Structure 1
Amino acid sequence: MQPIPIRTTVIGSYPFPGWLEFGSQNMDQFGKADIEEMIDDAVSIAIKDQVDAGLDVITDGEQTRLDFNLSFYGFLKGLQPNHDETRKFGPPAHDQRGKHSIVEPLTAPNGLGAVEEFKRLVRLAPEGPTLKASIPGPYTLAGRMIPDGKIYKDRFDVTEALLPFVHDEIAALVEAGCQEITVDEPSMSCYAYKEDTKRFVDIFNRTVAAAVGKSRLSTHLCFGNFKGRPVGYRKLYPMLPDFLDFDVDEIHVEMANREFDEIELLAHFAEKMDVAVGIIDVKNYYIETPEDVVERIKACLKYVPAEKLAVAPDCGLSQTARWAAKKKLSAMCKGAAEMRK
């Protein structure tokens, strides 16, 4: 059970400062020392914003990840960018995110980089907040890879190839002293309505086995967020009852963007694990007030006991402007503090 009631947490990502976006598009102009300084500065800013908001749990803001999946692809051998499969123009949608072709058996000779991110967070963060690392699960990580039909026939084949890499990175995070790890598997929640949910559970539990009972383990289930657009079938009921068998201490559930539809289903999750409810809408520029947060927490408490309830944004904040993210997190923490009283 979580250490404090109505704990305030985040998923993982945080908006880039504008200068980091510029820098990431012009990396050839910087030396290695420049880039390291840039990353340290960006992580320090993300930490400060989260600490100023009053969060109980903080991350590094995923400031080294230029894309949720694709930043990890740089650690993998056997991939080749496939620009022909990516739509370049028109309204934003997930088919504008980069795709990669698989050209040889996948390997990750130097890990996936999450351990280095966590060590930087430890070095830069103040004492007080819990430090959390996040990493995509193998099914979600496979989402922008095109199976070649020979080495890997489909997405599940690719998932099985990636599973040991994610498993080993999680084991390395535990070894590095990481006390809280979130494994992001939004693709599982997006496709629960049409795929074998028991198969998803088996994949997930094998992935996280190294952390069970050693670190506080959570998973994040949402319905996608690319430039404010969801991608999945936005219902919780297809996940039940199978997803209750995830080997996790806490499950993150998107609620605010769905106007708290199916809130009564939170009670099922609370029977088996702590529940981090998304009560801040990262896809909307309405800025929630502390009073809104109090009202939403009261609604959640009808189904989740306070000692098992955490509150969070619906999803990572990378697609939300920083000025809005700061205000939303501050309101969330103020509302949670009021309810704790």
Structure 2
Amino acid sequence: MTTDRERFRPADHPHDHFLLTTVVGSYPKPTWLNRARDLREDDASGFDADDWEEAVADASRLVTREHERAGLDAVCDGEMRREEMVEFFAERIEGYEFNGPVKVWGHNYFDKPSVVSEVSYDEPWLREEYEFTADVAERPVKVPITGPYTLASWSFDETYGSEETLAYELADLVNEEVRGLVDAGARYVQIDEPALATTPDDHAVVGECLERIVDGLPDDVRLGLHVCYGDYSRIHPELNDYPIDEFDVELANGDYEQIDVFADGAFEPDLGLGVVDVHTTDVEPVAEIEANIREGLRVVPPEKLTVSPDCGVKLLPRDVARRKVENMVRAARNVEADLDSGAIDADGRTR
């Protein structure tokens, strides 16, 4: 994939240098949307499908505009129509079935689906979400999609007998979905594969999945791969062979202990760098985030650096999430100004 980041630069961007700012995907839902969901699930409430659609549309509009007010260069609606990242897609893929939640850790449960027959593509998964957000937004919209390897790995396989085969079948479905999104106007797509860095011996499987996903896509589609947590040394430099424009990683939570994995001079795609920690309610000061951004400049030059939170921020209080994103954008603009003035070099070092 070869795409130009400059098309995401706002027309009134104040600096010569440009660090693309965005979010990974999820955002805290307004309290009233959670209450609306409870009403929808209560047959006696009188809260019908039209009421629910109005509530979701209001929340999507609110979050999209909140992202734009924060100054993000590429936005999304915070996944207001989604809940868990596997369940949402499994509910829309023929061949999946739900048999009840399984315990993940502590008191957290995940409604882990089973693949009970061959998977197939029945109807669009995200087109409505994308078209609504794109109509609301004045800035480019990014579409996050749970990747086929994670969809396969985090499911019970009762049909294929091979996680690899299931992943490839799902990759073909993701390709069909992405092609539909591209037809609707989407040009920035993020594949989320949190399972990758926990089972790194399968990096070749993920690579083949990505090859299937990009098949037939036009060159102007920007494809990112997001991987949160895990040992990144097990998938680099192999990830250089992936047909992606951007590799997005969670590093702020680990105080950049793994940044040297990528700072070997061999890293090829653009770097999507997590610069605020989504696991803490502490709102990082702008100066701290600036220092985090400079860690990314050790790996790639400014024109190849994307700035984002570590991961989705949906588990944070909404005010905390908003302030983290606002500070992140301010920090990115400050680093751009420092690069313009020569106060720091392109590798992040102070002159």
On whether the aligned pair clears a TM of 0.5, the verdict is yes
Matches within 5 A, 1:91-106: 91-93=106-108, 96-106=109-119
Matches within 5 A, 1:97-246: 97-111=110-124, 113-125=125-137, 127=138, 129-148=139-158, 151-192=159-200, 195-211=201-217, 213-223=219-229, 234-246=230-242
Residue equivalent to 1:67? 84
Structure 1 distance, partners of 2:257, 2:218, is 31
Q: Does 1:2 align with 2:5?
A: yes
Residue equivalent to 2:33? 20
Would you say how many aligned residue pairs link Structure 1 and Structure 2? 320
Q: Does 1:328 align with 2:324?
A: yes
Structure 2 distance, partners of 1:184, 1:210, is 20
1:305–1:114: structure 2 CA closer, same or farther, 3 Å change rule? same
Structure 2 distance, partners of 1:130, 1:340, is 20
Residue equivalent to 1:261? 257
1:269–1:66: structure 2 CA closer, same or farther, 3 Å change rule? farther
1:269–1:198: structure 2 CA closer, same or farther, 3 Å change rule? farther
SS in 2 for 1:80: strand
Offset from partner CA, 1:1-49 (integer Å, 9 cap, x none): 5225221111111111111122223314422221111111010111122
The Cα shift of 1:245 comes to 1.0
Read off the aligned partner of 1:175 and give its amino acid letter.
D
Offset from partner CA, 1:102-129 (integer Å, 9 cap, x none): 3222222113x2111110111222x2x2
SS in 1 for 2:176: helix
Residue equivalent to 1:86? 102
1:26–1:141: structure 2 CA closer, same or farther, 3 Å change rule? farther
- Percent identity between the aligned chains? 29
Q: Structure 1 stretch 66-75 or stretch 23-32: which is displaced more? A: 23-32
Residue equivalent to 1:57? 74
1:297–1:157: structure 2 CA closer, same or farther, 3 Å change rule? same
Structure 2 distance, partners of 1:121, 1:270, is 37
Q: Which has the larger radius of gyration?
A: 2
Give 5+ residue unaligned stretches, structure 2. 10-17, 338-351
SS in 2 for 1:77: strand
Read off the aligned partner of 1:55 and give its amino acid letter.
L
Question: Is the CA contact (8 Å cut-off) linking 1:269 and 1:275 kept in structure 2?
Answer: no
Read off the aligned partner of 1:170 and give its amino acid letter.
V
Question: Is the CA contact (8 Å cut-off) linking 1:60 and 1:121 kept in structure 2?
Answer: yes
Residue equivalent to 2:348? none
1:214–1:287: structure 2 CA closer, same or farther, 3 Å change rule? same
1:196–1:105: structure 2 CA closer, same or farther, 3 Å change rule? closer
The Cα shift of 1:268 comes to 5.1
1:17–1:202: structure 2 CA closer, same or farther, 3 Å change rule? same
SS in 2 for 1:34: helix
The Cα shift of 1:178 comes to 0.7
SS in 1 for 2:248: strand
SS in 1 for 2:326: helix
Offset from partner CA, 1:179-214 (integer Å, 9 cap, x none): 21111111112221xx23223211222122233513
Structure 2 distance, partners of 1:282, 1:50, is 16
Residue equivalent to 1:277? 273
The Cα shift of 1:308 comes to 0.9
Correspondence for 2:53 among 36, 41, 58: 36
SS in 2 for 1:26: helix
Question: Is the CA contact (8 Å cut-off) linking 1:80 and 1:101 kept in structure 2?
Answer: yes
For the aligned residues, what is the CA RMSD? 1.9
Structure 2 distance, partners of 1:139, 1:37, is 34
Read off the aligned partner of 2:5 and give its amino acid letter.
Q
Structure 2 distance, partners of 1:39, 1:335, is 31
Question: Is the CA contact (8 Å cut-off) linking 1:79 and 1:100 kept in structure 2?
Answer: yes
1:269–1:258: structure 2 CA closer, same or farther, 3 Å change rule? farther
Question: Is the CA contact (8 Å cut-off) linking 1:212 and 1:247 kept in structure 2?
Answer: no
TM-score (norm 1): 0.88
Q: Structure 1 stretch 12-21 or stretch 203-212: which is displaced more? A: 203-212
Question: Is the CA contact (8 Å cut-off) linking 2:152 and 2:163 kept in structure 1?
Answer: yes
Give 5+ residue unaligned stretches, structure 1. 224-233
TM-score (norm 2): 0.86
